[in-house]
Structure 1
Amino acid sequence: MDRATANRSTPEPGAAATDAQWTAFYEHLAALGVLRQAALAAGIRPEMVYDRRRSDTDFAKQTDHLRLRDKLAP
């Protein structure tokens, strides 16, 4: 690795994440992992949903609507 690459890939010490940020990050990953495992157990392949969203605009609109509805729910 040359010096320019090393300089770009080395994080700044001031930008280091706090413990709370790391905890939130890992909790988010854990939730996504649980959701993915539940989807796979139910026979839902995320790749197939992605492909269907790209090819079927009505399905994409429906899933967008559901995602927004769930996001706005208390």
Structure 2
Amino acid sequence: MPECHLKENLAQCTCTYLSCAKRGKCCECVAYHRAHGEIPGCFFPPDVERTYDRSIRRFIAAYQKA
């Protein structure tokens, strides 16, 4: 498995949950959210990401065309 590029990941991470131990560790973050039926915050628009609602339903609603 490739080495984690934590510095680079943190520089680009848009998650506002700054105290998360998985922040910048994309593999761990994706695995965690997937196990919980969620999507990582970096996939959401900024205003939705700040709600911490990582549900698949919220993701679909954020990008659904009106």
Structure 2 length-normalised TM? 0.29
Higher helix share: 1
